[in-house]
């Protein structure tokens, strides 16, 4: 295995960075969609239920099938892979955001309203900060998912470490698959550690929740 790594270290680095890029880009898009949407719909339980069900349906579609469905719309490459992966990770972040907002005491919200806060100010200054522990928990969970699923992005020409998995399967080279699996795991662990530092920095100690 070490011989393979040394012989292909430049390409391995390139594929690892490519995999990280695809994963993080999809994660950021998922956060930008899921967190504001979750905060907005948290007060409407019926609407929240409909959207969570829709996001849940997306997760029931096999990853390869969802990636394949992106081809007629966006072609092949990184763009359809990123869009598909972002859609795939919406559920945990939406769910955690909604739970976080719904867990906020009504008395706290009433106190904020009595101070003259508008709905937008309430969402920005009360809902988001107090729901942040749940939001970060959902983000960390989604990061592990998206990095794992990004391996399949190679199926539609997006590159990344999935190239080694598919090549290893086609050529019956278990070393290629093993190296790719180790690197994907390493990326997931490193990303989770980095996000844990972000969580410690952004979330007050007394508000933290376990995943």
Domain count of the fold of the chain: 1
CA distance 35 to 30: 8
Is pLDDT at 207 greater than 60 in this prediction? no
Average pLDDT over residues 21-35: 94
What is the per-residue burial (b if ≥16 Cβ within 10 Å, else e) of 55-90?
Answer: beeebeeebeebbeebeeebeeebebbbbbbbbbbb
Higher pLDDT, 208 or 188: 188
Instruction: Return the CATH number at 81.
Output: 1.10.3720.10
Higher pLDDT, 15 or 45: 15
Is pLDDT at 203 greater than 80 in this prediction? no
Do 131 and 97 touch, CB atoms closer than 8 A? yes
pLDDT for 93: 92
Domain with 125, as residue range(s), is 2-207
pLDDT for 209: 54
Q: In this predicted model, what pLDDT tens digit does every residue of 38-53 receive, in sequence order?
A: 998 988 888 888 888 8
pLDDT for 139: 93
Q: What average pLDDT is seen over the chain?
A: 87
């Amino acid at each position: 295995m070490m011989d393979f790594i040394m012989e292909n270290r430049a390409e391995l680095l390139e594929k690892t960075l490519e995999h990280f890029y695809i994963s993080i880009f999809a994660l950021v898009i998922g956060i930008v969609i899921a967190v504001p949407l979750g905060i907005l719909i948290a007060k409407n339980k019926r609407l929240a239920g409909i959207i969570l069900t829709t996001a849940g349906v997306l997760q029931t579609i096999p990853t390869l099938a969802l990636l394949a469905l992106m081809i007629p719309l966006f072609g092949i490459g990184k763009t359809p892979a990123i869009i598909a992966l972002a859609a795939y990770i919406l559920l945990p972040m939406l769910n955690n955001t909604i739970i976080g907002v719904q867990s906020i005491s009504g008395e706290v919200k009433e106190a904020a309203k009595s101070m003259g806060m508008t709905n937008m100010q309430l969402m920005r200054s009360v809902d988001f900060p107090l729901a942040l522990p749940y939001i970060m928990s959902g983000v960390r969970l989604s990061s592990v998912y998206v990095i794992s699923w990004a391996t399949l992005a190679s199926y539609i020409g997006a590159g990344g470490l999935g190239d080694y998995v598919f090549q290893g399967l086609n050529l019956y080279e278990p070393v290629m698959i093993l190296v790719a699996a180790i690197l994907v795991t390493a990326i997931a662990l490193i990303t989770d550690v980095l996000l844990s530092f972000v969580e410690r920095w952004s979330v007050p100690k007394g508000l933290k929740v376990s995943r």
